[in-house]
Amino acid sequence: MHDVYIKGIGVHLPPVVGIEEAVAQGLYPADEVELHQLAGAAVAGDVPAPEMGLLAAQEAFKRTGQDPADIGVLLYADSWHQGPDGWQPQYHLQRHLLGGDVLAVEVRMGCNGMFGALELGAAHVTAGRGDALLVASDNFGTPMMDRWRMGPGYVAGDAASAVVLSREPGFARLLAVASVAVPEAEQMHRGDEPMFPPGPTVGAPLDFVARNAAYKSRMVSSGEGTGALIRIHQQTLTVVQRVLDEASIGLGDVTRVAYMNYSREIVEQRCMAALGLGMSRSTWEFGRTVGHLGASDQVVSLDHLLSAGELDPGDHLLMLGVGPGVTLSAAVVGIDHRAPWLDSPGQP
């Protein structure tokens, strides 16, 4: 996969609401501030997720001078509701950016959707069928979602991200991407909720805290113990080693690690300590300020690292994610040279 380049990226990150403000408004538990050390969440208000996705894609195009005619496929990843039922968000981008000659597909892989899009987009590019535009976007500010209590150890932030993959040399290369699943843990994100009728059709809110508690209770009562959790840990290491081998690098060659924007203890225990790496090589200090951004965590972190001058030519970024399924995904990005848009006026 060494001939698949990241030609450009774009990000739309709304203003952040601080955790102290959320506590003052009774939205976030005060006793969890010190425990999880989260600092805030990006909040988009009433800006629709597809509109944020369009803004991120437009930024990626503007940064690189991308010709929409060179795009051969659009892959749109999301993990929350995008608009009216029976309508799909990718066509909003086709109407306003690409036109109708491009295959446009929604990728439903939860928080690992961008990894799925990277893998599918890379295959498209390698086949010589044009550049690939990958977009992820979510606005969690809806009545059926409490962003400040979304799950154990994280809050939900709104954001959109876009990536342009190409065979034409860009500032970085997608050296490897892969996903594995632990299907025996499928119920972890479902809990005891029925599959029919679907929760949103009866106005049931999303509550990963309750679902996770129900799953753990079932594990204890069934005698399954922690087998599935151990398997998740094992598969995390497996998928990381797979992408490192494909990228022809070792852990010692990894400059930074972009994981999910979770609490410090989760990032440290499930990711950095598991890999034998220190927290200083993680993107947690940034991620804690914006919240868990659905499928955009890793790309937004990449954009931040580039803008902050924390990735240089020759560096490698390991991106790692976990999503319902349970899926474990990883990718390696190699930086070839400074992103060209950073040398534009007003950039660092």
User: pLDDT (tens digit, 0 to 9) for every residue of the chain, 348 residues total?
Assistant: 679 999 999 999 999 999 999 999 999 999 999 999 999 999 999 999 999 999 999 999 999 999 999 999 999 999 999 999 899 999 999 999 999 999 999 999 999 999 999 999 999 999 999 999 999 999 999 999 999 998 889 999 999 999 999 999 999 999 999 999 999 888 888 888 889 998 888 888 888 888 888 887 777 666 665 788 889 989 999 999 999 999 999 999 999 999 999 999 999 999 999 999 999 999 999 999 999 999 999 999 999 999 999 999 999 999 999 999 899 999 999 999 999 999 876 554
pLDDT of residue 218: 74
Q: Which residues contact 101 (CB under 8 A, 6 or more apart)?
A: none
d(CA 300, CA 314): 20
Compute CA 189 distance to the chain's CA centroid, rounded to the nearest angstrom.
17
pLDDT of residue 220: 67
Q: Which residues contact 278 (CB under 8 A, 6 or more apart)?
A: 272
pLDDT of residue 348: 47
Residue 181 phi/psi, 5-degree rounding, is -125, 155
- Residue range(s) occupied by CATH 3.40.47.10 in the chain: 5-169, 175-336
Residues 46-84 as b or e (16 or more Cβ within 10 Å = b)? ebebbbbbbbbbbbbbebbebeeeebbbbbbbbbbbbee
pTM of the model: 0.95
d(CA 347, CA 339): 11
Cβ pair 53, 114 in contact under 8 A = no
Report the candidate in 52, 8, 54, 70 with the shortest Cα–Cα distance to residue 344.
8
In three-state form (DSSP H/G/I as H, E/B as E, the rest C), the secondary structure along the chain is CCCCEEEEEEEECCCEEEHHHHHHCCCCCHHHHHHHCCCEEECCCCCCHHHHHHHHHHHHHHHHCCCHHHEEEEEEECCCCCCCCCCCCHHHHHHHHHCCCCEEEEECCHHHHHHHHHHHHHHHHHCCCCEEEEEEEECCCCCCECHHHCECCECECCEEEEEEEECCCCCEEEEEEEEEECHHHHHHHCCCCCCCCCHHHHCCCECHHHHHHHHHHHHHHHCCCCHHHHHHHHHHHHHHHHHHHHHCCCHHHCCEEECCCCCHHHHHHHHHHHHCCCHHHECHHHHHHHCECHHHHHHHHHHHHHHCCCCCCCCEEEEEEEECCCEEEEEEEEECCCCHHHHCCCCC
Report the candidate in 7, 122, 117 with the shortest Cα–Cα distance to residue 62.
7
Q: Which CATH architecture describes the domain 5-169?
A: 3-Layer(aba) Sandwich (3.40)
Looking at domain 175-336, its CATH class is alpha beta
Report the candidate in 288, 309, 310, 287 with the shortest Cα–Cα distance to residue 299.
287
